[in-house]
């Protein structure tokens, strides 16, 4: 969004998104928000038509850019199509991703990143966007030996086993690194607070900050360790070095951190069965999560190499 706005000074964008995500777009000029109520007021086709009318009452929409292409956005997009407004949709590459996870004949190759796919939609709408022109990142002075760890992901296949994560934290704690645990949710908070009590240099940040403040904290870390998760993408908004640990999913699907290679480090085991899922929401075919057979010592070695180098 920032790149589009900066490179097209004559346009304004109205972004339809949940309130919780709006801090991600802070301080972008000519960008305003519409917050849908998808649980009540706008929850079905009649509610979406009501949303459509509300949008048109207060905004002069010239083009609709659908970056989601799911049932709700398709319905809303079609309302505009029948109104005579030009609409453009993302190509998610679903067929390519299906081939990537095919258990019998995998076609392993790097697919376009989601952000490249977003940019393509704007180009279709004759709005220029050059991703090589990096928009400004959130930067802070790095604190010596501060390490951020986001141990959790939405699905088991994307989560480094917690017993191994606990050992990794202990190894780093013994070396006097200052460990900051990020994440969310009640169970995750309980895990982080247990580790905090047993560690001498471990701090749980779960539930203590607003999203914008959490991103600012991430920017202070020397290294941020994440899964294939939202925290990886939050870290990519800053200039922090990112180490992401991958299990059943794979960067080839296009969901890796959108960051240059000098601060985007990936730890993964190359197995014939990987990836078995695009989003990590399928059970492990062999029921052993061999893809997560990565030792805490190996991850610690990678962390220390990055810190020493930079």
Which tens digits make up the pLDDT trace of 107-132?
999 999 999 999 999 999 999 999 88
- Per the structure, the count of domains in the chain is 2
How sure is the predictor about 104, in pLDDT bands with cuts at 50, 70 and 90? confident
Establish how many alpha carbons lie within 13 A of residue 15's alpha carbon, considering only the half-sphere containing its beta carbon.
20
Read off the tokens for 229.
Answer: 């998760």
Read off the tokens for 78.
Answer: 């079609």
Q: How many CB atoms lie within 10 A of CB 131?
A: 13
The CATH number covering residue 22 comes to 3.40.50
In terms of DSSP bridges, do strands 178-181 and 31-34 run parallel, antiparallel, or are they unpaired?
unpaired
Domain that holds residue 178: 146-309
Q: Are residues 95 and 179 in the same domain?
A: no
Q: Are residues 71 and 217 in the same domain?
A: no
Specify the pLDDT at position 34: 93
Q: Are residues 75 and 223 in the same domain?
A: no
Q: Are residues 161 and 59 in the same domain?
A: no
> CA angle, 214 as apex, 209 and 215 as ends, to 5°?
160
How sure is the predictor about 310, in pLDDT bands with cuts at 50, 70 and 90? low
Q: Are residues 263 and 175 in the same domain?
A: yes
Q: Which of 108, 297, 138 is nearest to 221 (CA)?
A: 138
């Amino acid at each position: 969004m920032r790149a589009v706005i900066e490179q097209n000074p004559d346009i304004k964008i109205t972004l339809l998104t949940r309130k919780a995500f709006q801090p991600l777009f802070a301080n972008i000029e000519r960008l305003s928000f519409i917050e849908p109520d998808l649980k009540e007021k706008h929850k079905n086709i009649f509610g979406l038509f009501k949303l459509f009318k509300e949008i048109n009452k207060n905004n002069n929409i010239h083009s609709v850019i659908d970056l989601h292409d799911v049932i709700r956005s398709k319905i809303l997009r079609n309302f505009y199509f029948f109104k005579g407004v030009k609409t453009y949709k993302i190509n998610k590459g679903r067929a390519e991703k299906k081939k990537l996870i095919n258990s019998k004949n995998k076609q392993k190759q790097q697919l376009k990143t989601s952000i490249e796919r977003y940019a393509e939609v704007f180009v279709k709408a004759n709005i220029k966007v050059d991703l090589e022109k990096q928009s400004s990142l959130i930067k802070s002075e790095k604190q010596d030996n501060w390490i951020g760890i986001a141990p959790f992901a939405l699905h088991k296949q994307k989560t480094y086993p917690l017993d191994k994560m606990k050992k990794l934290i202990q190894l780093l704690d013994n070396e006097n690194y200052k460990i900051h645990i990020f994440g969310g949710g009640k169970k995750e908070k309980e895990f982080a607070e247990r580790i905090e009590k047993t560690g001498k240099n471990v701090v749980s940040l779960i539930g203590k900050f607003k999203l914008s403040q959490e991103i600012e904290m991430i920017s202070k870390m020397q290294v941020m360790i994440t899964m294939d998760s939202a925290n990886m993408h939050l870290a990519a908004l800053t200039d922090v070095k990112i180490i992401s640990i991958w299990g059943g999913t794979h960067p080839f699907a296009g969901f890796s951190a959108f960051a240059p290679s000098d601060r985007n480090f990936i730890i993964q085991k190359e197995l014939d069965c990987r990836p078995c899922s695009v989003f990590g929401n399928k059970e492990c075919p062999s029921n052993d999560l061999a893809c997560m057979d990565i030792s805490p010592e190996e991850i610690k070695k990678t962390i220390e190499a990055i810190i020493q180098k930079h």
